Amino acid sequence: MSSKNIARPILFFVAICCFFYFNKAQAQYHIIPRPAEIAAKKGHFILNNNAVIGIDEESRSTGIYLQNYLAQNYGLHVRLRTKPTIAAIRLINEAVDTKGAYHLRMTRNTTNISGDAEGIFYGVQSLLQMLPANGKAPILLAECDITDAPRFQWRGLSLDVSRHFFNVDEVKKYIDVMAHYKLNVLHWHLTDDEGWRIQIDKYPKLTEIGSRVSDFAKTGQYRPLSNLVGGGSDGFYTKDQVRDIIKYAADRFVTILPEIEMPGHSEAAVFAYPELGCQDSTGAKHRVEMLDPSENTFHFYEDVLTEVMDLFPNPYIHIGGDEVEMDQWLKSPVAVALMKKEGLKNVREVQSYFIKRIEKFLLSKNKKLVGWDEILEGGLAESATVMSWRGEAGGIAAAKMRHPVVMTPLPYMYFDAPQGNELLEPIGWNPTVPWQMVYNYEPVSNKLSADETKYIIGVQGNIWTEKIPTSEHLEYMVFPRALATAELGWSPRESKDITRFADNMNHQYGFFKLWNLNACLPYIDSIPSMVTNHHDYQLSLKYPLKHAQLRYALDGKMPDSTAKPGTFPVLMRLPLKDSIKLATLTSWTLNNQRVKQIATIKHVDINPAIEPRETAPGLTHSVYKTIKNYTKLDSIAPVASGIFSFPQPVALAPEGTNTWVKINGFIKIDAEDDYVITSGFEYSPLLLIDNTKVMSMSKNRYSEPQQALLHLKKGYYAIKGYYLADEYNVAQDLIRMKTTKGKVLEPGEYLFH
């Protein structure tokens, strides 16, 4: 063998070693949403410029999509072939039981993705998520086997383009990211008080006037739109642009659900065509956001819907129906005459009449009506699908009536809420909804029977853009919360694991960088404001993203970026006399965001009560109605009182929004130990132990204690508490206790009165 012949294999060997060393095979468990089954195998698959994507007719558009993605993000130029059998990546059409199901099998030489057209696209998305986030090729992947199918067929995300307008490219980017996470319904909120955003040929003024938010402000005739941060923006989509977006979405298996709001939230339309508006008998000019239920209005909206239906292939059309200021109809001669003529007893029945007429029209065109949960009031249209947004109650009621339901409840699915400390985050609607809260939500309520459960057809995250003027800000609000929604919508219920999900996000933030997506950085989870009777306090700070840096101060003054950074995890031992205000500034190497957090850790003394003579399990409770502030409860008589025994939940079904509950009793400690006391309530209650506040209901959950770390001796500790009984607290434990070693106690064992 010549020296040249020896050198070659050696060089090849060295090259392979370098390749393995510098581009280690990815551990591919970070796919979001979590696939139903994923098994790792030994061996590697290499993706480089020599790869060929094998397609058939049905998988062609997904093949082109994959080819483009690899070129744009990895500089890889792979070829497409219509002979799937000889390719490295094969996209193979196959019949499946569940729409969107796929099988991905990666071996040394080939990656086979099989499923229906949609499933193949999702298999490709799983493949894309296995790629390194650094955009570098060639790519080495660990062999694996994935069998996957969606839990729900409706995995939605909304986009409000009325309050602030987002242009075609911005909408396309939104769709792109949705598709990466297997979200498949874009609920496009095209009309509202602040702007009409879709071209309607028959009524050109809808866009000529109704899309010009700046004209609203100028005329002064209507409200000054002070609700819009940044003042809103002008703009609308032409029909060609709408068609282009629908096609772009369809290529990514995203269906667009258009929403045309009625009979409320219609000020933009009324501004353009005043005769549509609810006219009071004096005919005086005033702000009008309500439609008059006149024949003219119905004809107008039938024309509008006809043009909308011509554009959108979706069998569903959303007609809004939320927050209708129905009492305005009492002043409208048209509405009053209609009530008389149709025998409608109240304004709710006028609303129901309105929706049912539109439903009938949609049905005549083979379309199905979707509306917000208010459409239940006054009688639900027979074929309606309900979006439950004011909590879950409307959705539960509709599912029990055997209507399809999409769960999109406040507060969990509302991404216009801040994601962290309200005082430090961009302005949003209260309360804070961290991604963890979204992830911990379960769309199928345990109030539904197995049969009723079938009517929950999916889950959706909502974003309203009154306070969101730019696309960058939009991304900040929607991500990473939309990833949690994606997993709720797709992954099997049993696979829920927040620690695994947090870890998976690590890789996703790499993609966010690759896609130039301005997702909000996660908060450090482990620093709530709290009280403790320890004098020596230990805190361990962890962060899901690698390469993040922490700067902190103990005097409440936020460190700036000149302070010396440390790396996570950070273990702190804090001597505690009175209280410490911990301020943290977390930064991450791959973007310019900074996460600011403040927590107060307060020392308290807690003493056992004098041992009560007789005790029984449970807590005493009193219920008060229509009182807004708990401090006044002691001076009024309760409407009911009794004993809560456990393990039943202690929240009452809401019979009105202001139902306060007061509880009294003891925590009984059998063994001296260190205990962590928290609450499962979304809005933490005011809870006092030995007359010391250990948890507090507050507008800002970051400034008041949310948990207690207490060394407790054997004995009884007096507790007192107040909370608002509402559906967000139902089925949660009011007080949760565990030892610092992790032993969880049952409320029935330690709550007495």
Return the active site residues.
Answer: 192, 265, 323
Rounded to a whole number of angstroms, the minimum distance from the CB of residue 301 to ligand TNX is 18
The span from the CA of 598 to the CA of 581, in Å, is 7
Q: Tell me, by CB under 6 A, how many residues bind ligand TNX.
A: 8
Comparing CB distances to ligand TNX, the nearer of 121 and 174 is: 174
Q: Who contacts 226 (Cβ-Cβ below 8 Å, separation ≥6)?
A: none
Rounded to a whole number of angstroms, the minimum distance from the CB of residue 426 to ligand TNX is 15
Rounded to a whole number of angstroms, the minimum distance from the CB of residue 539 to ligand TNX is 36
The span from the CA of 482 to the CA of 27, in Å, is 23
Comparing CB distances to ligand TNX, the nearer of 56 and 322 is: 322
The span from the CA of 199 to the CA of 241, in Å, is 10
The span from the CA of 112 to the CA of 114, in Å, is 6
The span from the CA of 118 to the CA of 571, in Å, is 47
Q: Strand pairing of 570-575 and 579-588? A: unpaired
Give the burial string for 641-679 (b: 16+ CB within 10 Å, else e): eeebebeeebbbebeeeebbbbbebbbbbeeebebbbbb
Q: What φ, ψ does residue 303 adopt, rounded to 5°?
A: -65, -45
Handedness of CA 433, 430, 521, 66 (dihedral sign): positive
Rounded to a whole number of angstroms, the minimum distance from the CB of residue 163 to ligand TNX is 7
Comparing CB distances to ligand TNX, the nearer of 716 and 728 is: 728
Give the CA angle between residues 454, 388, 470 to the nearest 5°: 125
Comparing CB distances to ligand TNX, the nearer of 372 and 722 is: 372
246 token code pair:
């629908």
464 sits near ligand TNX (criterion: CB under 6 A): yes
Rounded to a whole number of angstroms, the minimum distance from the CB of residue 406 to ligand TNX is 12
Rounded to a whole number of angstroms, the minimum distance from the CB of residue 507 to ligand TNX is 32
Q: Who contacts 108 (Cβ-Cβ below 8 Å, separation ≥6)?
A: 43, 44, 45, 143
Handedness of CA 275, 277, 281, 287 (dihedral sign): negative
DSSP 221-252: SS---TTSGGG-----B-HHHHHHHHHHHHTT
- Cα 230 to the chain's mean position, in Å? 24
Interface mask (CB under 6 A) for ligand TNX, residues 363-402, using x and -?
A: ---------x----------------x-------------
User: Cis ω on the peptide bond leading into residue 263 (within 30° of 0)?
Assistant: yes
Among 37, 310, 323, 670, binds ligand TNX (CB under 6 A): 323
Comparing CB distances to ligand TNX, the nearer of 280 and 322 is: 322
Interface mask (CB under 6 A) for ligand TNX, residues 405-444, using x and -?
A: ------------------------x---------------
Comparing CB distances to ligand TNX, the nearer of 116 and 267 is: 267
Q: Which helix (H) or strand (E) holds 547?
A: none
Rounded to a whole number of angstroms, the minimum distance from the CB of residue 408 to ligand TNX is 8
Handedness of CA 189, 192, 198, 201 (dihedral sign): positive
Q: Which helix (H) or strand (E) holds 442?
A: none
Rounded to a whole number of angstroms, the minimum distance from the CB of residue 488 to ligand TNX is 18
Among 215, 280, 322, 325, binds ligand TNX (CB under 6 A): 322
Chain positions contacting ligand TNX, by CB under 6 A: 265, 322-323, 372, 389, 429, 464, 466
